[in-house]
Chain A
Amino acid sequence: MDQRSSAKTIGCAIVAGIIYGISNYISSRINLPGCSFIELRPQVALPMFMGVYFGPLAGFITGCLGDRVGYAFQGLTIGYAWNWSIGNGFIGMLPGAMSWLKIREIKSVRDYAMLLILIVAASFLPIVFASAIDIMIRELSLANTIYSLILPAFITDAVFGLIIVPVLLIVAGYIRFTIGIRNMLLSTYLLLFAVLTTYLVSAISMWGSTGSQTLNYSDIYNIGILSLVVLFIGLSISAVLVNKIVAPVMTLTDAAREISGGNYDLSARLEKAAKRDDEIGCLAAVFSRMAGEIYNREERLKKEVRDLKIEIDKTKQKAEVSKIVDTDYFRNLRTKAKELREKHE
């Protein structure tokens, strides 16, 4: 963000990087029973959050530095898996594209959808990058890389990112609770919950039927990918639907703002919303009619003022004046007043 000083940003990024590194070290020590290469890394949300909130540079520092700190705890030197450190940097940097897109605060469905897309992209592209270098340098096989590196990391990182990053951003006050955002948050977490449940149930049932020794990991990853695809489709549909709900509300709010600014001629703009056969349609129709009435009244009043005629009946006035002036009292008074003034002067 522009207004945050760069020194403070980098300071925050370094602190976040160290936390990320310690978490990496801890999570690397915890192995899921039976699958040594699946590492659950909820901390991946941290560089993503830093990227969104503080910008791409902060995100990169957090990710890259954190990765090195994690390795350092394991006693590994600077040259070890450098490509993965850069990859981790990219995990933080990609969500920083929010600031390139001039999104300073998430306040529309579009902004929110962009956030989700960037989280998924940050869970995928950097791992592909690091893995590709591994394939080139360490001559790993492509299939092996996909199933042992890319897919497990992608699935878990994307899920954790999608769950945790929005929460961190809400805490940081980066998300404004518009009607659209509330709806999107609701559908994101409901869908995540449903998809995760299905995924875990199927994984456990496969585990139960085959046992860990003969477990075919590729099946689990395929189901994971399938789950993510379902999640993606679900979120896309809800984004479209939420937009459909929110768009007319936005039209109404804009119209209300226009009215407070003095523009009452809104019937053309509200026409589409007013045709809806639901509560919002009813609201828009009533609103449009009210605005129209106010508009007509204002116009009428303005016209009245323009045509304002001060009508004075001169004959009547003359008669009234002479009734007062043509009296002895008045003539006396006039003389006396004159004398008084002359005395004053």
Chain B
Amino acid sequence: MPKIISIHSFRGGTGKSNTTANIAAILALNNYKVGVIDTDIQSPGIHIIFGMNEDNIHYALNDFLWGKCAIEQAAYEQTRNLNLNSSGRLFLIPSSFKTGDIARMLHDGYDMNLLSEGFKQLVKSLDLDFLLIDTHPGLNEETLLSIALSDFLLIILRPDNQDYQGTGITVEVARQLETPKMELLVNKAPSVFSGADLKTKIETIYNCPVAGIIPHSEELMALASGGIFSLKYPEHPVTKIYREVAARMIG
């Protein structure tokens, strides 16, 4: 049965898009058909990680929401581009990053129902095993919709007080939406934090499992800027954490 997975964080800059791209790549490497949809219409970003630019995007998610195309026409297969050596496939449905498109979307809005239709159609027509939704930070309506439609919600947070507060809100809201499975991923944890200690503390406070703790490292920041980290450094400890998170999604 296909799974819809929302990857969310209350604030921006937590590494949400990077995490999404890495987990998607790992799932595809495990022979799954994976779609990644960028619903962060206001500030799209994940296409950069996949190396896409204006020249190789014709239709985007925006065009589907405006009724200009079918959703699968906005899906771009990345399998070969990433040299994934598996029978899995990876599709990216980017959000338009043309400033005019973004402004129009913010001004006119769009039909939420169409977005949920889009998810369904995508899963069906591309025969996906997983649809990963890279959400907009905060809890606006399309994010709530994504969470409501998800089988699995991964909330990414950094260990600081602003994120703790915001994550509390997301966790509470997701509970009310009865999201079947919800896990936390701590990103950019300072190296002095003992992983186990932090994990227990966060799990107790939110009463929600922590899928992993990714330490902050300058090295990682430098390496992560170009492309998908887990594909470039399959033996890196951080890649192993991504793999564990992906395994929890497979269930």
Residues of A within 8 A of B (CB): 298, 301-302, 304-305, 308, 310-313, 316-317, 320-321, 324-325, 329-330, 333-334, 336-338, 340-341, 344
Contact = CB atoms under 8 A, between A and B. Distances in A.
Main SS of chain B's interface residues?
helix
B197 A305 contact: yes
A324 B197 CA distance: 32
12 contacts: A304-B192, A308-B201, A310-B164, A310-B202, A311-B164, A317-B172, A321-B169, A321-B173, A333-B148, A337-B149, A338-B178, A341-B178
Contact of A316 (B141, B165, B197): B165
A304, A312, A344 interface centre (most CB from chain B within 10 Å): A312
Contacts, number: 65
A313 B149 CA distance: 29
Nearest to B140: A324
Interface string B137-159: 00101001100110000000001
Given A310-B202, A311-B161, A333 B177 contact: yes
Interface in B183-217: 190, 192-194, 197-198, 201-202, 205
Contacts of B192: 298, 301-302, 304-305
B148 A336 contact: yes
Contacts of A333: 144-145, 148, 177
Interface string B159-174: 1010011001100110
A302 B194 CA distance: 9
A32 to B, nearest CB: 70
Interface of B: 1, 139, 141, 144-145, 148-149, 159, 161, 164-165, 168-169, 172-173, 176-178, 180, 190, 192-194, 197-198, 201-202, 205
B205 A312 contact: yes
Contacts of A337: 148-149, 177-178
A99 to B, nearest CB: 43
Nearest to A316: B165
A312 B205 CA distance: 9
Contacts of B202: 310
Contacts of B194: 305
A334 B139 contact: no
B176 to A, nearest CB: 6
